[in-house]
């Protein structure tokens, strides 16, 4: 057993539950902050814990280039390297590689690309993406897929979907043959504090190298099919036939209208197993993540709260606040009076505006802390709404 979703309440299509991973439990539906380079920009791990983050996402492509997989593996995997004992997910690197446009070439075997850092040549295949993600050691890893571009004609969308399906089979085959190579516990975790050791809930099994009582990573399959509902249905069915412990909806937020994203999500969700995790990749605004959770999505990630924070755009219960505006220069009120985060409890809008206008590093830190808290609180209210059953007020969306 690598992962388990316990569904504890349902309301319409929505479900609330607990995702049990080798590195702890995750309340679902969940928003996963993005820590691209094994770091959520500007926010330390102890603050992430205080915010209530139970699962983080890191990017395979970026970690592969820097610091390199062998370094992370030598350091005992991503959890130990970045001192994060809670659950983690890595993407396959596919999305970033496909975003390189002029720097990549796709073949049946995989994708040749050039590093955005120094132009050096690299090659990513389904097998290589698995090898890298096993070396990183996240609890949940993703199949290497082709993210179909938008717009794509019917022939192109089908060809891309078929390639993703063939790659999904190769990913699963490699993963099944190599999943025992995950770096967890392969050496004594001497660098861990006593508190960290306490958090590690799976005692090391001395008889099996690198296993925490037989736990392994979970490999998720990804549904593609462009913006065609019929192709999405076919992709879902054939990905399920290959068989994964969880399924993601990929290939969205690639430039299509928001209404189309929603239609494709809705039409894909109904074809995914009801008893397994459903992960919608790369969305969205607070309103959108609340909507998708109410539609039955269990897991979501997005760079929006962290990236927007660094640009002074803050999400609050009263709507968006662009903290750079002069109107906040002498505003003594809290950023969001309804927010319980350490920023809103302590600082005024005037101070936050000053920090941003002065280009102080602290502006990025505080803005990110608040935005993450707002996203996490949004999901907490959706979970409460699902669990409350009848009579409760639905979350704002």
List of residues contacting Zn ion (CB under 5 A): 339, 341, 343-344, 370
Residue pair 301/32 in contact (Cβ under 8 Å)? The answer is yes
Residue pair 47/376 in contact (Cβ under 8 Å)? The answer is no
Check if 91 is active-site: yes
Residue pair 43/365 in contact (Cβ under 8 Å)? The answer is yes
- Which of 128/370 has CB closer to Zn ion? 370
Tell me the HSE value of 163 on the side-chain side, using a 13 A CA sphere.
21
Report in angstroms how near the CB of residue 53 gets to Zn ion at its nearest. Answer: 15
- Which of 195/345 has CB closer to Zn ion? 345
- Which of 238/370 has CB closer to Zn ion? 370
Check if 153 is active-site: no
Cis amide prior to 151 (ω within 30 degrees): yes
Report in angstroms how near the CB of residue 334 gets to Zn ion at its nearest. Answer: 8
Report in angstroms how near the CB of residue 363 gets to Zn ion at its nearest. Answer: 14
Q: How far is it, in rounded angstroms, from Cα 389 to Cα 383? A: 10
- DSSP three-state, residue 169: helix
Report in angstroms how near the CB of residue 342 gets to Zn ion at its nearest. Answer: 8
Cis amide prior to 67 (ω within 30 degrees): yes
In the set 85, 228, 301, 336, the catalytic residue is: 301
In the set 91, 145, 228, 298, the catalytic residue is: 91
Sequence-separated (6 or more) residues with CB below 8 Å from residue 382 = 14, 29, 290, 293, 294, 395
- DSSP three-state, residue 219: strand
- Which of 152/355 has CB closer to Zn ion? 355
Angle between helix 126-136 and 154-178 (nearest 10): 50
Report in angstroms how near the CB of residue 371 gets to Zn ion at its nearest. Answer: 8
Residue pair 85/196 in contact (Cβ under 8 Å)? The answer is yes
Q: How far is C-alpha 304 from the geometric centre of its chain's CA atoms?
A: 12
Q: Among residues 145, 147, 34, which one has the least CA distance to residue 88?
A: 34
Count of beta carbons in the 10 Å neighbourhood of residue 127: 19
Report in angstroms how near the CB of residue 83 gets to Zn ion at its nearest. Answer: 25
- Which of 272/309 has CB closer to Zn ion? 309
- Which of 287/318 has CB closer to Zn ion? 318
> Distance between the two ends of the chain, CA-based, in angstroms?
36
Which amino acids are annotated catalytic?
Answer: 91, 301
């Amino acid at each position: 057993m690598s992962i388990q979703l316990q569904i504890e309440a349902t309301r319409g299509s929505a479900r609330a539950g607990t995702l049990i991973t080798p590195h702890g439990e995750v309340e679902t539906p969940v928003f996963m902050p993005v820590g691209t380079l094994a770091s959520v920009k500007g926010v330390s791990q102890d603050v992430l814990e205080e915010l209530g983050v139970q699962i983080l996402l890191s990017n395979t492509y970026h970690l592969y280039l820097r610091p390199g997989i062998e370094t992370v593996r030598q350091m005992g995997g991503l959890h130990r390297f970045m001192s994060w004992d809670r659950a983690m997910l890595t993407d396959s690197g596919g999305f970033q590689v496909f975003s390189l446009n002029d720097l990549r070439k796709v073949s049946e075997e995989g994708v040749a690309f050039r590093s955005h850092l120094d132009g050096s040549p690299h090659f990513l295949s389904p097998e290589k993406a698995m090898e890298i993600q096993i070396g990183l050691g996240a609890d949940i890893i993703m199949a290497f897929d082709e993210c179909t571009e938008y717009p794509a004609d019917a022939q192109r969308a089908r060809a891309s979907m078929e390639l993703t399906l063939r790659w999904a089979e190769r990913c699963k085959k490699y993963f099944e043959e190599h999943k025992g190579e995950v770096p967890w516990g392969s050496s004594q975790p001497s660098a861990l504090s006593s508190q960290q050791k306490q958090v590690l809930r799976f005692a090391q099994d001395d008889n099996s190298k690198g296993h925490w009582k037989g736990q392994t990573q979970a490999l998720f399959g990804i549904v593609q099919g462009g913006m065609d509902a019929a192709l999405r249905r076919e992709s879902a069915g054939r990905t399920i036939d290959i068989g994964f412990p969880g399924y993601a909806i990929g290939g969205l937020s690639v430039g299509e209208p928001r209404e189309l994203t929603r239609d494709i999500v809705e039409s894909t969700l109904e074809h995914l197993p009801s008893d397994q995790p459903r992960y919608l990749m790369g969305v969205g605004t607070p309103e959108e993540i609340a909507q998708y959770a109410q539609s039955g999505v269990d897991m979501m990630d997005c760079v929006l709260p962290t990236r927007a924070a660094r640009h002074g755009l803050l999400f609050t219960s009263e709507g968006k606040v662009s903290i750079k505006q002069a109107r906040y220069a002498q505003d003594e009120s809290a950023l969001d009076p309804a927010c319980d985060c350490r920023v809103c409890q302590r600082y005024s809008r005037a101070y936050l505006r000053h920090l941003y206008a002065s280009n102080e590093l602290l502006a990025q830190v505080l803005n990110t802390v608040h935005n993450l808290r707002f996203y996490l609180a949004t999901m907490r209210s959706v979970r409460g709404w699902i669990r409350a059953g009848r009579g409760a007020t639905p979350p704002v969306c």
